[in-house]
Structure 1
């Protein structure tokens, strides 16, 4: 009876684990595609020339949109002219060239900042004059659904990006990506409209988009904000110094020896941008608030008051940076999940194959050595046969937990096989390894299990020059010698 009950529980747990694994795999795939789409968007925007004609800008935006929304086979960008007309400023994939076509603005569909699906063949029918309707029927031939997002300069509606598809619906991923592209394009237009008379427009725009490209390198948030401080100080004549804060801690500062106490207290405000005058100096505080993360802020100091138009630029910078911090954190979170063994929490063998070569390069550059240690748990099959697989799983988890407590946080642990684990003692010598092994055995005796947990082990020193395959083979050979020695002693 108990055997059947345990079997039913085990099958239930396996089913749950399989479902969770499938859902996690699906989420990781979603965010991987999302990251690639953002890479395309940021790379495309960073190459834009602020002084180029608007037609070139809109065509580039449409090209980017077509790349990141796979359902679309044609698209267009339309905008409102100063005379009040509706004009197509970019077109791609249509049998009829839409570029330069003008129509009365009252017939323009005005999308918002959230992408919306529209069946224009139904929407426009009976709404447009006959001649316009005949024209759009030709351009929409083969289209079953369009995805439209508005372009804005602040709150001012400028036009639409419209993507047409032969499919009935667009995916949630495509909607999310087009929304981000619409927001960034709107930001670009706002910057251009508010700063078009400023001589340093190009430097400011290039600086912001260059900073966004840093996220593709997966640098830390602190490193990104330090770079942001430097670049913005270089690109504008307003500011003479600044500092980056995490909570109340200064991460870095440039030409800023002392910050008044009232400025530090004001960092707790809720607005993205704050301006404060104190002691003849002007301070601008850029707040970067993201849930589940420490609050960050950048404080700039100026000898003169800052024009509202430039505060708008900083507000845009804060919004964009906050978006990318969120995406960066999501990427790190799901990357960490993908690189961890779900049972033990150790890193996966796949990650070892990726990590070890960068570590070998680090050893060569710094003329250091590390020690590669291979563990094989003794008698795991007997534990599974005697006590069941749940107890076997618990043994593996307990072994990794004790191993983590025994070594330094900087020494990574990898699950290399079913009951095999790899440990890399970073910046260590071979002669120090027996002390670590003995300490591990002593700590394992503290585990509250109905049997003793022991292991066979082999290790080899690596210096970055000897191929890792040779070091692994040597450590593996020593492990099996240790295993056979134990079998001989137990006979």
Structure 2
């Protein structure tokens, strides 16, 4: 610029000097003409020559001046173009910076980025594709002006097509997609109606994480300035993506910690095993966007898995699932030695048992993930995520469920220990029947229910005939075996709703809810006949039955006394029979 100004200054001096020479030559001729009324050859030569020289120099310097003005105008135009480009760039970056901090969603930010970029380039469509680290493919993260069908169907690998070449670091511009042999999907591009495309890599600390591109409907030549501007936008997008990913990771970590705290706090209050599984299912469905989730209890000692609760099966359906651990998806996870097993296509697993395959087919499961619930090295249960499609479980989903499973292991073990302690407290150690304390509590509950709803209720008191003689002649060890056998027969002849307890010594008592006289006598007789078939030693029992009737007994204790009296009536009448108090 300084040289241009210096040249212009010299040209101005030259023009002024030329004008002076012209005027001096003309003045010389004028003076000779006025003074002598004639022009001499010398005067004409000197004055005319000076004027002609001045005119020649004037023309020369004027041309130089015009050339410099043209160069200066061109320089100004280029500067103006450069400034306009910078203004575009700064305006876009300022807008996007605002959008980045106003938008917490990466997908929404990229959508705004594309819309702004397309406005700047006056392009009807644009796209951002990111590299999937698992598959190594470029997948659409955001698109503007492209159909959903195209976006969902089209994928690139680095180096494939124009988009793929940018994933290798190349800035690629094509004036006409229909004529460019590098295009991977020419038909799809024609169907979308786009002819020109420019794509640039998304770089983050020298690492290429994706591609950004804009498209035009008509053939178009993208300039180097266009490529530079799009690269600037792409670099900004890459850093924004990094910040958004960091924000998302922090948010997910915070959500994970919050979830684990909430689950730990909730499970600490749960000592019922069913409630523990129900709480786990509820929390998993809140944390993971998947509809199908089931929880199983694993018993490694017996080699069996039992369904506990499911988001897609009824309580009856899931509890019917009792499968051998071996050759089941859960068993495969245990055998793998890993806490998590992902099965992308269950139909390809040849080692599944027929029972396991039948369950998977019944509920239309095509892919699944199994996350083991452990307490130390012991497998206590399993969480299964399943899908009716060939679903790819994300690392974030699996990590979250794994974290929940860690909390669950302690809770399940605590619930099991509580159940075991409770069972020991209410269970007779020798026979496995309930204790007298538990029986008394249940009797009061069933009495109150029968009294309130006028429902049927029966009690059966059982005593082994001549049991003292067995102990005296065969010893207490044989006597204990007799008690166990009688208890086993009693349990095998009762419903799940019935209660059997060892009342004391060789006496047993049964609570039969919703059972009238005929049913109670039938149960007592089945047990009596089964016991009479025992041998070595051969023993019999006597049974007494009492049936609830409104107003007949003042309380449960009176009804129990009536059953006891009926039993002693049976023993005093030849034994090995059933009596009922009317």
TM-score by length of 2: 0.40
Between structures 1 and 2, the one with greater helix share: 2
- Bigger RCO of structures 1 and 2 (CA < 8 A, at least 6 apart): 1
TM-score by length of 1: 0.47
